[in-house]
Amino acid sequence: MICTRCGSVFDKPKNYMGGSFGMELMLWLLLVLPGVIYSVWRLTTKAKVCPYCESREIIPLDTPEGRRIQGRGAGA
């Protein structure tokens, strides 16, 4: 994988989920409906991101665009 923002090359992207588990737990324990809403929102923010800059703009390295970005980063 390669990041189109920072140009980093990596094997495995980082998993990202917005919000915090602590807040989700607190909302579930105190107020059920806001807990459900917050949980659904957190699930919609799940994404694979660059482990270095946390950008969602990552693509496979074996694509034409991935090779072009890698070549540009190497000074070509």
Q: Please name the amino acid found at residue 63.
A: T
Number of neighbours of residue 50 by Cβ within 10 angstroms: 22
Percent share of the chain, pLDDT over 70: 95
Predicted TM-score (pTM) of the model is 0.62
Q: What is the mean pLDDT of residues 5-15?
A: 90
As given in the structure block, the two tokens for residue 10 are 């990596």
Segment 51-68, tens digit of pLDDT: 999 899 999 988 998 888
Percent share of the chain, pLDDT over 90: 50
Which pLDDT value is given to residue 11?
92
Average pLDDT, whole number, for the chain?
A: 88
What is the C-alpha to C-alpha distance for residues 76 and 8, in angstroms, rounded to an integer?
16
